[in-house]
Structure 1
Amino acid sequence: MSIGQRIVMIGDSITEEGRFEDQEKIGDGYVRLIHDYLQVTEPDRGYQVINKGVGGDRVTDLKSRWQQDVIELQPDTVSISIGINDVWRQLDQPHIEQVFPDQFEAIYQQLIEQVYERTNAHIILMEPTVIEENIQSEGNQRLKDYVDIVRKLARTHQATLVPTHQVFLTYLTSQSTYPLTTDGVHMNPAGNMLMAKTWLETVR
């Protein structure tokens, strides 16, 4: 696909990754790597990468800020990375109201439909990555349903699917012992590189 000039990348802390402290408001995570790659490989295209990640967000939080942070910006491309906190909160904050798969899918579908109805943007859906660098962890087992939903929505809406979950699983089954996260969820530089590489290879 051809990437439009104005790219909104929205999600949770994995997307946010220092954007509020960055003068350019891009951060220093995978969004920064994608931004810099596009700038140096196609400087004449005038790409504008807008980071709208907010730490702690679940799909319900995206819904509350969708109009302001996506629709009103009239992007050419919308890249969505969400789902980790929808599962993680079930593990670390089981007392709060949870977002289970049915609600996750219903809200996510609404957000996609709004983009298609109110903008001319193409949509890119990123699979949720991992919860612990252990394929058998409870978080990764619960995450499966959410990954399947993202894959289903990509098929249904003809969106581009970035297989971020799958590439992390593939890496975890390799012989490498080099970590990808700082705490099982948040990316270190290697994790950000794997996300950016997968995004660029899929989208371009």
Structure 2
Amino acid sequence: MKDKARILFIGDSITEWGRNEDPEGIGIGYVRIIHDYLLTAFPSKELEIINKGIGGNRATDLQDRWEKDVLDLHPDYVSVSIGINDVWRQLDNPDMVQVYPEQFEEILAGLLEKTNAQLILMEPTIIEEDIHSEGNQKLIPYVEIVRKLAKNFDAILVPTHQDFIDYLKTGATYKLTTDGVHMNSAGNMLMAKSWLEASKSLLN
């Protein structure tokens, strides 16, 4: 990691998680855990962590605010977590205009293409703590798109979805979410752990 670095996180409510009520604007979710880890593990580094998560966001919403919330801030690293609402809205609000995989990929690729920063792409996590849920099945193409774009743009891939699925496969009964989507403290810890392990090459 550079001696001075601006790390920007952008996404939906999972990223936002309390940032609007936090004087530091970091929130109490996985971004907070990453923030606190980096500042305590690397006290000599000058780090600026920016949280630009907004609840309910889909890929189309990131497209609308990318210029202002990402490019204009000139980050060194951009961590993107998106895709849950693109699928969830198909389940809980099927009458609205949907963002299907082809459009999701087109939008995300366009945003990444114009971004001059080290990209960190997080797989969308889960929809219900059941591997076979309809939401998790519908998530699969979105996860595959994120993996593909990480290769195409030489981005760091954070295997968040895979890590959650692996946890569920163990049969562990401790919940990771409050409602099948939004993280409790354990879910936020798993997301942060996944991010930190994937991004360890940046932490030297």
TM-score normalised to the size of structure 2? Answer: 0.96
* Residue 199 (1) aligns with residue 195 (2): yes
- Which residue number corresponds to residue 12 of structure 1? 12
Ranges in structure 1 where 5+ consecutive residues have no aligned partner: none
Which of 141, 149, 156 pairs up with 1:153? 149
Distance (Å, rounded) in 2 between the aligned partners of 1:175 and 1:46 = 41
TM-score normalised to the size of structure 1? Answer: 0.96
CA RMSD of aligned residues (A): 0.8
Distance (Å, rounded) in 1 between the aligned partners of 2:16 and 2:22 = 10
- Which residue number corresponds to residue 76 of structure 1? 76
* Residue 26 (1) aligns with residue 22 (2): no
Distance (Å, rounded) in 1 between the aligned partners of 2:114 and 2:85 = 22
* Residue 179 (1) aligns with residue 175 (2): yes
- Which residue number corresponds to residue 61 of structure 2? 61
User: What SS is found at the alignment partner of 2:28?
Assistant: coil
Runs of 4+ in 1 over 6 A off after TM superposition: none
Deviation, 1:44, is 1.1
Deviations 1:71-109 (A, max 9, x none): 000000000000000000000000000000000000000
Paired AA for residue 87 in structure 1:
V
Deviations 1:119-170 (A, max 9, x none): 3x10000000000000000000000000000000001111000000000000
Deviations 1:21-41 (A, max 9, x none): 000000000000000000001
Paired AA for residue 137 in structure 1:
S
Distance (Å, rounded) in 2 between the aligned partners of 1:45 and 1:72 = 23
Which is further off, 37-46 or 163-172?
Answer: 37-46
User: What SS is found at the alignment partner of 2:157?
Assistant: strand
Distance (Å, rounded) in 2 between the aligned partners of 1:27 and 1:114 = 27
User: What SS is found at the alignment partner of 1:57?
Assistant: coil
* Residue 143 (1) aligns with residue 136 (2): no
Q: Share of identical aligned residues, percent?
A: 62
